[in-house]
Amino acid sequence: MAANGILEVTSDTFQALVLENEKPVLVDFWAEWCGPCRMITPILEQIAAERGNDIVVAKLNVDENSDVAARYGVQSIPFLAVFEHGQIAHRAIGAMPKAHLESALGLS
Protein backbone atom coordinates (compact mmCIF):
# COMPACT_ATOMS: atom_id res chain seq x y z
CA MET A 1 0.00 0.00 0.00
CA ALA A 2 1.35 3.39 -0.91
CA ALA A 3 1.06 6.57 1.07
CA ASN A 4 -2.35 7.72 2.26
CA GLY A 5 -4.17 4.50 1.36
CA ILE A 6 -3.44 4.72 -2.37
CA LEU A 7 -1.96 1.66 -4.02
CA GLU A 8 0.82 2.12 -6.59
CA VAL A 9 0.36 -0.20 -9.57
CA THR A 10 2.67 -0.90 -12.50
CA SER A 11 2.57 -2.87 -15.73
CA ASP A 12 3.82 -5.87 -13.75
CA THR A 13 1.20 -5.65 -10.99
CA PHE A 14 -1.83 -4.32 -12.93
CA GLN A 15 -3.30 -7.74 -13.73
CA ALA A 16 -3.20 -9.01 -10.15
CA LEU A 17 -3.96 -5.79 -8.27
CA VAL A 18 -6.56 -4.26 -10.59
CA LEU A 19 -8.05 -6.74 -13.04
CA GLU A 20 -8.20 -9.69 -10.64
CA ASN A 21 -9.22 -7.71 -7.55
CA GLU A 22 -12.51 -8.76 -5.99
CA LYS A 23 -13.26 -5.14 -5.03
CA PRO A 24 -13.83 -2.35 -7.55
CA VAL A 25 -10.57 -0.50 -8.21
CA LEU A 26 -10.40 3.22 -8.97
CA VAL A 27 -7.25 3.76 -11.04
CA ASP A 28 -5.76 7.21 -11.50
CA PHE A 29 -3.67 7.26 -14.68
CA TRP A 30 -1.28 10.16 -13.98
CA ALA A 31 2.21 11.62 -14.50
CA GLU A 32 4.63 13.63 -12.34
CA TRP A 33 4.53 16.64 -14.68
CA CYS A 34 0.71 16.83 -14.75
CA GLY A 35 -0.62 19.73 -12.65
CA PRO A 36 -4.27 18.61 -12.69
CA CYS A 37 -3.11 15.14 -11.61
CA ARG A 38 -1.51 16.64 -8.52
CA MET A 39 -4.67 18.67 -7.86
CA ILE A 40 -6.88 15.58 -7.56
CA THR A 41 -4.52 13.56 -5.35
CA PRO A 42 -6.06 14.93 -2.11
CA ILE A 43 -9.52 14.01 -3.42
CA LEU A 44 -8.34 10.47 -4.15
CA GLU A 45 -6.84 10.28 -0.66
CA GLN A 46 -10.24 11.31 0.78
CA ILE A 47 -12.03 8.67 -1.28
CA ALA A 48 -9.53 6.03 -0.12
CA ALA A 49 -10.03 7.06 3.52
CA GLU A 50 -13.83 7.18 3.28
CA ARG A 51 -14.42 4.12 1.09
CA GLY A 52 -11.40 1.92 1.75
CA ASN A 53 -13.59 -1.02 2.76
CA ASP A 54 -15.56 -0.90 -0.50
CA ILE A 55 -13.12 0.23 -3.19
CA VAL A 56 -9.37 0.16 -3.80
CA VAL A 57 -7.81 3.44 -4.95
CA ALA A 58 -4.70 3.06 -7.11
CA LYS A 59 -2.34 5.20 -9.18
CA LEU A 60 -0.55 4.19 -12.37
CA ASN A 61 2.20 6.44 -13.75
CA VAL A 62 1.61 6.62 -17.52
CA ASP A 63 5.20 7.63 -18.27
CA GLU A 64 6.58 4.53 -16.54
CA ASN A 65 3.77 2.17 -17.64
CA SER A 66 2.84 3.39 -21.12
CA ASP A 67 1.80 -0.10 -22.26
CA VAL A 68 -1.12 -0.17 -19.79
CA ALA A 69 -2.11 3.41 -20.65
CA ALA A 70 -2.11 2.53 -24.35
CA ARG A 71 -4.17 -0.62 -23.74
CA TYR A 72 -6.97 1.51 -22.26
CA GLY A 73 -6.70 4.34 -24.77
CA VAL A 74 -5.47 6.91 -22.28
CA GLN A 75 -4.75 10.04 -24.31
CA SER A 76 -5.41 12.73 -21.73
CA ILE A 77 -4.61 12.74 -18.01
CA PRO A 78 -5.75 12.61 -15.33
CA PHE A 79 -7.77 9.68 -16.64
CA LEU A 80 -9.68 7.94 -13.88
CA ALA A 81 -11.34 4.58 -14.34
CA VAL A 82 -13.26 2.28 -12.02
CA PHE A 83 -12.52 -1.34 -12.88
CA GLU A 84 -15.06 -3.98 -11.87
CA HIS A 85 -14.48 -7.65 -12.69
CA GLY A 86 -11.55 -6.73 -14.95
CA GLN A 87 -13.48 -4.21 -17.07
CA ILE A 88 -13.85 -0.43 -16.99
CA ALA A 89 -17.25 0.29 -15.46
CA HIS A 90 -16.92 4.09 -15.20
CA ARG A 91 -14.41 6.68 -16.38
CA ALA A 92 -13.68 10.38 -16.03
CA ILE A 93 -11.09 12.66 -17.59
CA GLY A 94 -9.66 15.78 -16.01
CA ALA A 95 -9.60 17.39 -12.60
CA MET A 96 -12.96 18.17 -11.03
CA PRO A 97 -14.46 18.74 -7.59
CA LYS A 98 -14.94 15.65 -5.42
CA ALA A 99 -18.73 15.51 -5.82
CA HIS A 100 -18.48 15.69 -9.61
CA LEU A 101 -15.75 13.06 -9.67
CA GLU A 102 -17.72 10.67 -7.47
CA SER A 103 -20.80 11.16 -9.65
CA ALA A 104 -18.87 10.60 -12.89
CA LEU A 105 -17.32 7.43 -11.47
CA GLY A 106 -20.57 5.99 -10.13
CA LEU A 107 -19.51 6.43 -6.50
CA SER A 108 -22.24 8.80 -5.31
Residues with a catalytic annotation lie at: 34, 37
Q: How many CA atoms lie within 13 A of 27 on its CB side?
A: 30
Q: Which of 38, 90, 36, 92 is nearest to 100 (CA)?
A: 92
What are the φ/ψ torsions at residue 82 (nearest 5 degrees)?
-100, 120
DSSP state of 19: I
CA–CA separation, 56 vs 83, rounded Å? 10
